[in-house]
Copies of this chain bind each other. A is one copy, B any other.
Amino acid sequence: MRAKLKTAVLGATGYSGLELARLLLRHPHLDKPVLLRRQVETDACASLADVFPSLAGNGEYRLEPLSWTALKRQHVELLFLATPHEVSRALVPEAVAHGMRVIDLSGAWRLKRTEHRAVYGFQDGDSLATELNARAVYGLPELNADRIANATLVANPGCYATSVILALAPLLQAGVVDREHGIVSDSKSGVSGAGKEATSRTHFVSVADNFSAYSVFGHRHVGEILEQLQLNQDELIFTPHLLPIPRGILSTVYVHLRQKLEAAQVESCFRDFYAGKHWVRVFATPRLPQIQFSLRTNYCDLGFCLAEDGRRLVLISCVDNLLKGAAGQAVQNMNLMYGWKEDKGLQ
C-alpha cells in the first residue's frame, strides 16, 4: 500500500486556511498535515484550537514555525499557502527550490499579463519569479485539469473569479456571446471574503442591516477573469457588493447572445461543457441557485433565465467563497495533482 501524502499549510489561522486545515485533516489519502505558524503570529497562538475553539477536542492542532529543514525532515511534498500575496510571492520560489509542489491560495501567481499583475504590486525583474510565474497553472479544475495534474505551482483562483468564470466559460467557448456588447457581472459576497482583519468596514454594526457596492471598476479579481476567459478589458464590467452574511457568493451575470437561442440550447451548452465535472451543478429552468444551496459544499451552482427574445440571458452562479472559492478548490486541485478522484475528501 502506498504511503500517505505529507502536506503542510501556512496560514491556517485565517478563514480560508482554517477550512483548508479541516479538509486536509480528514482527507483519506493524507498524513496528518503540518500546520505552520506565520511569522507575524505570536507564540500565544500555539494551537489552531486556541484561535478556533470549535476545533477543540478533536486532537492536536499544534502550530509550528516555518522551517524548510523541518519540512524536508517530515517529508512534506506539497505546501499550501493561505497567506497574503506578498508572503506567497516571497515563499513560493524557496519552496520550489526545496523540491516541493505548491498550491497558493493568494493572488500572487494567478496572472500572466504584467499589467494585471501590477494590482498586486509585482514588477517583472526577478528572473526566477518571472520563470515560475510563466509555469504557474491557474487552478480552476473544470478548465485546466490536465495542466494542473502536472503542475509544480498551482495558483488557486479567487472566489469571485471562480463564480464568474464558471458561469461564462461554456457560452464563450461555444461562441454564442456577443462579446462586443459587453458582459456585466453583478457579484455579491459574504463578509468572510473580506478577510479576518477587524476594520470599521467589517464591524458588525457596519455590515448588519446594510448592503453596498465597492471597488467598482477596480477589483483585483478582474484580471484573472479576463485572462482565463480571454476577454478584453472593455468587454466586462465586474461590480462586487458586500452581503450581510458570513459566507457565500452569488454572481448575476448579464450576457447578450449573438443569435437567438432556445432555453434548451443554453442548458445543453452548460450540460455539455460540464459533463463529468463533479463540482458543477447545472440547474434546469426555472429553478435558480441560491447562496444557501451551495453553502458548506464545494459545488458551483449554475442557473439561467433567458428573455423571450432569446437574446438576453441572465446567469446565476453561486459558490461558497471559502470552499469552491478557496479551500475546497485547493483540495480539488491536490486531488488532480495526485491522480485521486475529484471529490475525494470533499463530501
A54 to B325, CA, bound (A): 17
Min distance, Cβ A265 to any Cβ of chain B, angstroms: 17
**Contacts A199-B198, A204-B244 hold; do A309 and B234 have CB atoms under 8 A apart?**
yes
A212 within 8 A of B: yes
Contact of A213 among B199, B248, B252 (CB under 8 A): B252
**Contacts A53-B290, A54-B292, A307-B217 hold; do A188 and B211 have CB atoms under 8 A apart?**
yes
Contact of A209 among B182, B209, B312 (CB under 8 A): B209
List A299-336 residues whose CB lies under 8 Å from chain B.
299, 305, 307-309, 312, 314, 316
**Contacts A57-B299, A237-B312, A314-B216 hold; do A291 and B208 have CB atoms under 8 A apart?**
no
B243 touches A244 (CB 8 A): yes
A228 within 8 A of B: no
Q: Which residues from chain B contact A283 at a C-beta distance below 8 Å? A: 53, 56
A239 touches B292 (CB 8 A): no
A191 within 8 A of B: yes
Q: A residues bordering B, Cβ < 8 Å?
A: 15, 26, 53-54, 56-58, 181-182, 184, 186, 188, 191-192, 196, 198-200, 202-214, 216-217, 234, 237, 239, 241, 243-248, 250, 252, 254, 256, 281, 283, 287-297, 299, 305, 307-309, 312, 314, 316, 347
Given contacts A188-B211, A209-B292, A210-B245, 12 further A-B contacts (CB under 8 A): A54-B295, A181-B181, A186-B186, A191-B205, A191-B208, A192-B205, A196-B200, A203-B204, A205-B246, A206-B292, A216-B288, A237-B307
